[in-house]
Structure 1
Amino acid sequence: MDFLAIKITSSDNKIIKHIRQLSKRKFREKNKEYIIEGIRSIKDAIKYEEEIKHILYSNKINNVQYGEELLNDILSGKLNAYEVDEKIFKSLSDTENTQGIMAVMAMKNHDINSFIKGDGLYVILDRIQDPGNLGTIIRTADSAGFNGVILTKGCVDVYNPKVIRSTMGSIFNIPIIQGTYEKDLIEVLHKEKINIVCTSLDTDKYYYDVDFSKNLAIVIGNEGNGVSDYILNKSNLLIKIPILGKAESLNASTASSIIIYESVRQRMTKLL
């Protein structure tokens, strides 16, 4: 069946109401759906064969670079598309300057017991609050070839629109689990003999003194309070990044990038 473009003229339409509800985390979690916006995000979702429930667009897409081309591709596909006027679209959009296209996506489901394997490389984010930090760390872990990102309970929602934009498409490339309880996570990591390495100021060991090439979970803590005491006490090693200036600490995403790419350096060095 060809892709059907149906015009919606009322903001009281049930599909519009449903999309509006997905702006709230509780409804995203209830329906196992989330929203992406913009030409690049939609193109990435199609490229990586993500499950797209609906596409919503306005005439504005025809005035955006590559917009008309993308819309033509969509209209020859096999999903339902809905055209709305710009006023309705703006009422649903999370961005100030929209590109006139968004999609409702199905969340992926990962089980932590089958997700973590003994020889893998993982990033664990403990109660990270800033959407930009979370999205940037996911993007970095993806670019560094890590096997997954795990979010403890209390982290900002990975399906928050600001997080999704910050990942720049990496949300489709790397497995992510969120809402994980610390106890359950530690049990699986210990069972799989994964070394748990936490960032902490209370250590004399620097990140470049550690083998980051395999079998590792790097834990990055909350922006204000660091890694929880429970995870710290269950970890195999504490590390820190040297700070030579007057700053007290580094931004969470900056610290993550430094440590994650030490793993890349070590793995590439072993290949030489």
Structure 2
Amino acid sequence: MIKEIISPSNQNIKHIKSLHKRKYRDKHKEFLIEGLRSVEHGLENNAEFRNICYNDVITSSNRGCKLLEKISQRKIELCKINDKIFKEISTTDSPQGILGVVKRRYYDLEDIISKDKLFLIILDKLQDPGNVGTIIRTADAAGVSCIISLKGTVDIYNSKTIRSTMGSIFSMPIIHIETIGDVIEILKGNGVDIISTTLEAERYHFEVKYGRKNAIIIGNEGNGISNELIKRSDIKVKIPIIGNAESLNASIAAGIIIYEIVRQTHFQKI
């Protein structure tokens, strides 16, 4: 059944507007996704929707009509709203006419690290939503077990980050950690090698033989990895820079190291 909303003071509309702010996303453990592809990915990955709102724009294409049909076949509240209200709740400049409220998934780190083979990414105070979203997408493609987001990292669930993940937000386990100290000890206690990149490293990333359990730390775009985490790392590596650039983009550097580990663990014997 489709619910038609004509008032901007409707409680559903107010709730969606509140999710534009991080404190309410954290409070309600929900986030917004927008656009055909994002909603399709959510449905394909069995995301738990609170509701989905749409306007007439979505019905102008065959793909949009099919998507509405899929939604109507599930137990998801479907709300039709007018263009004016949709523009008020949209997070994009050119809305595609569909937006969903999604409940966050909870992941237990102890369950994840109990596996025989483990590949983790630790985000240390990254600030650029595009970088974080790209890293999530790359990690998903590389079969990473989980991403750990440390305090000080940009909100994983803001609209720019979500769009940059290209749907991987639904399939990549993500855990937010306030304090890393105890987690590092837990990881090490489970045989996980903590890997950090630093210019002070003696070896390049391809000169190291990686084991079956790895956690790569990706540092802040400007300041890199914190000294505390570098000191507590088991493996320190650097990526060669042959030209004049001083450093690499954080998501590019992450991809280079991630896929070196993929190459070693999937395409040659350890």
Aligned: 1:182 with 2:197:
no
Which residue is 1:89 aligned to? 86
Partner of 1:192: 190
Structure 1's 50 and 229: CA in aligned 2 closer, same or farther, altered over 3 A?
same
Q: Which residue of 2 aligns with 1:54?
A: 51
Unaligned runs of 5+ in 1: none
Is 1:18 paired with 2:15?
yes
Q: Which residue number in structure 2 is paired with residue 204 of structure 1?
A: 202
Cα separation, partners in 2 of 1:90 and 1:212, compared to 1, 3 Å: farther
Structure 2: how far apart are the matches of 1:185 and 1:43? Answer: 35
Determine helix, strand or coil for the equivalent of 2:131: helix
Which residue is 1:243 aligned to?
241
State the alpha-carbon separation in 2 of the partners of residues 47 and 212 from structure 1: 34
Number of the residue aligned with 1:27: 24
Deviates more, 1:112-121 or 1:175-184: 112-121
Query: TM-score, normalised on structure 2?
Result: 0.96
Whether contact under 8 Å (1:132, 1:162) holds in the other structure is yes
* Contact kept in structure 2, 1:55 and 1:103, CA below 8 Å: yes
- Return the letter of the residue paired with 1:14: Q
Q: Tell me how large the CA RMSD over aligned residues is.
A: 1.5
8 Å contact 1:137–1:253 — kept in the other structure? yes
Structure 2: unaligned runs, 5 residues or longer: none
Quote how far apart the aligned CAs of 1:77 are. 2.2
Q: How many Å apart are 1:213 and its aligned residue?
A: 5.2
Tell me if structure 2 keeps the 8 A contact 1:154–1:179: no
Query: CA, structure 1 residues 15+65, in 2 after alignment: closer, same or farther (shift >3 Å)?
Result: same
Distance 1:65 1:219 in 2: 44
**2:187 partner SS:** helix
Task: Report the alpha carbon displacement of residue 109 of structure 1 after superposing the two structures with TM.
Answer: 1.2
Give the residue type in structure 1 aligned to 2:94: N
Q: State the alpha-carbon separation in 2 of the partners of residues 64 and 90 from structure 1.
A: 19
| Runs of 4+, deviation exceeding 4 Å | none
Distance in 1 (CA, whole Å) between partners of 2:120 and 2:112 is 10
Query: TM-score if structure 1 supplies the norm length?
Result: 0.95
Task: Identify the residue that residue 71 of structure 1 maps to in structure 2.
Answer: 68
Corresponding letter in the other structure for 2:36: I
Give the whole-Å Cα distance in 1 for the aligned partners of 2:140 and 2:67.
Answer: 25
Give per-residue Cα distances to partners, 1:210-265, cap 9 Å, x unaligned: 12352100111000111111111111011110000010000000000111111121
1:134 aligns with 2:132: yes
Q: Secondary structure at the match of 1:66?
A: helix
Classify the secondary structure of the residue corresponding to 1:68.
helix
1:65 and 1:251 map into 2 onto residues whose CA distance is: 39
SS in 2 for 1:224: coil
User: Residue 78 of structure 1: CA displacement?
Assistant: 1.5
Counterparts of 1:106-255 in structure 2, within 5 Å, are 106-117=103-114, 119-212=117-210, 214-255=212-253
Amino acid at match of 2:148: I
Mapped partners of 2:184, 2:213: distance in 1: 14
